[in-house]
Amino acid sequence: MLIGVISDTHIPERADEIPKTVFEVFKNVNMILHTGDVVSIAVIDQLKKLAPTLCVQGNIDRYYGLNLPKRNVITVDKFKIGLDHGEVYPRGDTQQLKYIALEMDVDVLITGHTHWAFINEIDEILLLNPGSPTVPRMSDPTVMLLKIEGSTIDSEIIKIGESTCKALNLKERI
């Protein structure tokens, strides 16, 4: 199974649209997982046109009235995969993410929130973060592909080109 993983799209809050490159990268996926900060249900609708899409709620989504699950667990072949936005501080703290994975009883935990991609393994738990295709933080815009076959899982961070981040006027933020 080939799975596309995406997070922190922030559309239309901070970006106008999903970069076209994402649709090219995800064109042959069997499923898409979005780890939150979608902001608009239209993003999920667009992704569903490519493949069945699961999404969890990010810390910003609640301000836009999206009623998405906080967490989700799926099983693909021999792997239990957990989705959680990963709202831990400091951002990306792998020890805290490990304990979320243990609490969810999963082999793989996929989170977002950091806006930078990573692949880590701690105590036989795979921690994944696809980064952000639209508003990366001190990194390139990215998504992720997971290829799962039986007892093998391969994860790949895909750089997708330029960020589509909107320029925010200071007055808009006050």
Q: What is the secondary structure of 38-57 as a DSSP string?
A: --SHHHHHHHHTTS-EEE--
- CATH no. for residue 13? 3.60.21.10
pTM of the model: 0.92
Residues 6+ apart with CB under 8 A from 90: none
pLDDT per residue rounded down to tens, the chain (174 residues): 999 999 999 999 999 999 999 999 999 999 999 999 999 999 999 999 999 999 999 999 999 999 999 999 999 999 999 999 999 988 999 999 999 999 999 999 999 999 999 999 999 999 999 999 999 998 999 999 999 998 999 999 999 975 555 544 333 433
Q: How many domains does the chain have?
A: 1
| SS3 assignment, position 90 | coil
The pLDDT value recorded for residue 168 is 43
- Domain with 131 in it: 2-173
Round to whole Å and give the CA distance between 68 and 135. 21
The pLDDT value recorded for residue 161 is 77
The continuous run of DSSP H or E covering 103 comes out as helix 94-104
- Cβ atoms of residues 48 and 33 within 8 Å: no
pLDDT digits (tens, 9 = 90+) for 100-116: 999 999 999 999 999 99
Reading the block at residue 117, the tokens are: 């991609």
| SS3 assignment, position 147 | strand
Reading the block at residue 69, the tokens are: 């699950």
Reading the block at residue 93, the tokens are: 């703290």
Round to whole Å and give the CA distance between 131 and 156. 12
Round to whole Å and give the CA distance between 143 and 158. 5
The pLDDT value recorded for residue 89 is 86
The pLDDT value recorded for residue 173 is 37
| SS3 assignment, position 20 | helix
